Structure 1
Amino acid sequence: EGHPIKIVTGKKNCAIFRIETSSIQKLLTSLEKDKRYSEFIILSPFTKDGTEFSRMLFLDADYVKRNEKYFLAFDPLATITYNRGVITLIGDEMWRVQQVASRTSSKIGEAGLNILNMDAQEETSRIIIVVEDSDDNISKAICAIHAEKSKINFV
């Protein structure tokens, strides 16, 4: 049996785009057909003041900046947050293993980083952790996870 965490990657210079869920389908269709762009991950939605919002993590904040007007035209309530970094854990049935998410997130916290968003996707066995992209935050987080990785075992 191999380790449940197979790959840990980090990416700087990301952006989070928040849009009303009722408007996201038009944007997704346009990105696919008009822009032929797919360098994003859809995060879990949330509801605020009775309105459901979807969030998209873009792996290239410069692309979002260059196309800001395009993105914001889809929804008057849309917002873009820059200076985000993402750490992705890709594994083999990580969801079967207790404490993968909790132990990795606590190690990131102990390394002095604040987790801004964490999205665990059972179906893809992928955990996405969003932190502020400043200084060496991303490499700090990856080092913290690698230090803990050896202590996480199948139960």
Structure 2
Amino acid sequence: MTTLAAAAVTTATFLGMEFVAWFMHKYVLHGALWFLHRSHHVRHPHRFERNDFFFLFYGSLSMLFIIYGSDAKDWRFWVGVGIAAYGTVYFFVHDVLIHGRLRFWRKSRNTYLRALNMAHKMHHKTTGRDGSEEFGMLWVSKRYFSLAARKPAPTNKMRRASSLNS
């Protein structure tokens, strides 16, 4: 497989994973597998949640594609790389930035990341199986871009000033 073809397969897989994530989230996680995903929508004192098992599914799928395609470095290998790349971005954006599961990246002044955060917070406004919106991870509706662009992110100076005034 040529380098260009490998890059194309990896990129197409990465982009396709956004649709897979949206579909699975909306119809499977908020459907038949709600009993696992529910843990992600309610506050709890635990470090891990049942919802984290989905990482094992996608990680295993990626690993199998990489293993079975590694000898020939054929399309299977590059599909596995695309799934792994999506999972890596998902971890940093969703688990670290949005949900703060690790404390090294709490806020962003980037309009896209702030819009993404707003959309995800809107998804979590409902704690039940029904009534949620914004099921994707990287795709953000226009209205959240508008909100993020209109409402500037607080700077360190603004945060310090507001804490002094309170």
- Larger-gyration structure (1/2): 2
Choose between structure 1 and 2: higher strand proportion. 1
Structure showing greater relative contact order (alpha-carbon pairs closer than 8 Å, 6 or more residues apart): 1
For the criterion TM > 0.5, the same-fold answer is no
TM value normalised by structure 2: 0.28
Choose between structure 1 and 2: higher helix proportion. 2
